[in-house]
Amino acid sequence: MSKKALRIKPQHRNNPDRLHSRGDRAPFSTVSGVAIALLVLVLACAAYIRNGTWKDEISIWSDAIRKSPAKARPHYNIGTFYFKQDNIEAAFREYQRSIELNPGLTDAHNNLGNVYFKLGRTEEAIGAYHTALKLDPGLAEAHNNLGQALFTQGRTSDAFQEYTLALALKPDYADAFNNLGNAYYQQGKLDAAIGAYQSALKADPGLADGHNNLANIYALQGRLPEAIKGYLLALALNPNYAEAHYNLGNAYFKSGDLDRARQHYLACLRLTPSSPFAHFNLGNTLVELGRFEEALKEFQITLQLKPDHVQARKSFASLSWKLNK
């Protein structure tokens, strides 16, 4: 399932840090700067190889569909590749076709649920996951995905049950541990959330969301050096992780490292230019740096994006008055 950002309690001038849930990625502490740089290089090389592999595999399955259009599995496989490339319309079409050809194809129902979830059609996603579990009650991914869908509806107890079932079936399921951590966090059980995130990272040290989420709790507890290391690890694994840039900016701001805070808010905005929270926090940072004209512009953009942002309105008015004195 695709990642979905969950905003948590505000941590920097009434602006949220973010947790990330993890869904089915396939049905289918100390860190040195050198280590992080090496990790980034390795991941970049791996991404280049994966892109070439993807092109090869998409050609293979396209050819398989041309030769055997009535077989369900090639449609399912090409749908999975489309989903990974965020081509949701094509993935939806191929999963539906695979189910038409083989209604008993469990993974296709599970992944169709992922498509519905990504489209915001949560009830239909829940229905697809239930269908998958009727066909195969032992499909851990469907339990995890159903848990995530239920969690977004506020049905936390039901979500806990599904995450627990997923982990009983697949004890090293990193994504389910990560989602369980989010549910514990929602209930204010921070120690339990830390334990779940640590279990997720033990199962999969490359889970960027796990590093981000664990760092969020460290930041909430005032353990800023640990939080910063966690965000840096998340960004080493995924340099385009906008929320980790945002959260790292918050941590640097709290630490008094304003230049680094500014850099990471800017990095977040390059990836998500319509984030009012990043614009507002960048504005706050620029005020502290004495760059008032730039700060005023950021508060103005914040209000254009989110007119009901009370703190931005107050900051804009106060700074405008100061500059016009």
Q: What is the CATH number of the domain that holds 143?
A: 1.25.40.10
Would you say residue 248 lies in a domain?
A: no
Would you say residue 141 lies in a domain?
A: yes
Q: What is the pLDDT of residue 72?
A: 83
C-alpha–C-alpha distance, residues 119 and 41, integer Å: 33
| Environment class of 322 (CB within 10 Å of its CB; exposed 0-12, middle 13-18, buried 19+) | exposed
C-alpha–C-alpha distance, residues 325 and 311, integer Å: 21
| Environment class of 308 (CB within 10 Å of its CB; exposed 0-12, middle 13-18, buried 19+) | exposed
* Structural domain containing residue 129: 4-241
Would you say residue 268 lies in a domain?
A: no
pLDDT digits (tens, 9 = 90+) for 121-178: 999 999 999 999 999 999 999 999 999 999 999 999 999 999 999 999 999 999 999 9
pLDDT grade, residue 7 (50/70/90)? Answer: very low
Which is nearest to 8 in space by CA: 20, 24, 26?
20
pLDDT digits (tens, 9 = 90+) for 81-112: 899 889 999 999 999 999 999 999 999 999 99
**Average pLDDT in the 180-205 region?**
96
- Among all chains, which residue has been given the structure tokens 């993935």? 91
Would you say residue 91 lies in a domain?
A: yes
| Environment class of 259 (CB within 10 Å of its CB; exposed 0-12, middle 13-18, buried 19+) | exposed
pLDDT digits (tens, 9 = 90+) for 243-259: 999 999 999 999 999 99
Would you say residue 253 lies in a domain?
A: no
Residues 6+ apart with CB under 8 A from 142: 24, 106, 109, 110, 113, 129, 132, 133, 136
pLDDT grade, residue 38 (50/70/90)? Answer: low
Would you say residue 172 lies in a domain?
A: yes
pLDDT grade, residue 3 (50/70/90)? Answer: very low
**Dihedral angle over CA of 216, 149, 97, 138, nearest 10:** 100
Sign (positive/negative) of CA torsion 281, 286, 290, 292? negative
Percent of the chain with pLDDT over 90: 73
Q: Give the chain's domain count.
A: 1
Q: Determine contact, residues 209/177, Cβ cutoff 8 Å.
A: no
Does 223 score more than 80 pLDDT? yes
Q: Determine contact, residues 190/214, Cβ cutoff 8 Å.
A: no
Would you say residue 86 lies in a domain?
A: yes
C-alpha–C-alpha distance, residues 95 and 78, integer Å: 9
Tokens of 287: 């005020």
pLDDT grade, residue 26 (50/70/90)? Answer: very low
Q: What is the pLDDT of residue 215?
A: 98
Would you say residue 229 lies in a domain?
A: yes
Which helix or strand (DSSP H or E) is residue 4 part of?
Answer: strand 4-10
- Side-chain-facing half-sphere of 63: CA atoms under 13 Å: 6
| Environment class of 271 (CB within 10 Å of its CB; exposed 0-12, middle 13-18, buried 19+) | middle
Amino acid at 243: E
Percent of the chain with pLDDT over 70: 79
